[in-house]
Amino acid sequence: MLLRQLDVRLVNCIKYLKSRRGKVIMVVNTFPFCEESKLRDKVIWRCTSKKTNCKARIHMLGANVVAVKGMHNHPPRKPLC
């Protein structure tokens, strides 16, 4: 899948923050994600934009992005990268 490979390559700026509640927030290209599910080394991160029902997800295996699903339906919050 060319598109998916392209999306994975676009993930070029990942930062980790802690939310006020102590949860880990992964910021990818200025979009914040929170952990949705976890199975051993594989973690699925979902976009934190619940208001817009954003479908964007990032699948990580350890420190590597293995898949990017969906598209953001909103602009990024603020430039963090």
Query: What is the smallest separation between the CB atom of 57 and Zn ion, expressed in angstroms?
Result: 9
Decide whether 42 or 70 has the Cβ nearer to Zn ion.
70
Footprint of Zn ion on residues 34-63 (CB under 5 A)? 47, 49, 54, 56
Query: What is the smallest separation between the CB atom of 18 and Zn ion, expressed in angstroms?
Result: 20
Q: Could you tell me which of 51, 53, 59 has the C-alpha nearest to residue 28?
A: 59
Query: Residue 74 and residue 65: Cα distance in Å, rounded?
Result: 22
Q: How many other C-beta atoms lie within 10 A of the C-beta of residue 77?
A: 12
Tokens encoding 21: 């509640």
Are 31 and 47 contacting, i.e. CB atoms less than 8 angstroms apart?
yes
Find the part of the chain contacting Zn ion (CB under 5 A) among 13-21, 36-44, 57-65, 68-76: 68-76
Among 14, 67, 72, 76, binds Zn ion (CB under 5 A): 72
Residues binding Zn ion (CB under 5 A): 47, 49, 54, 56, 72
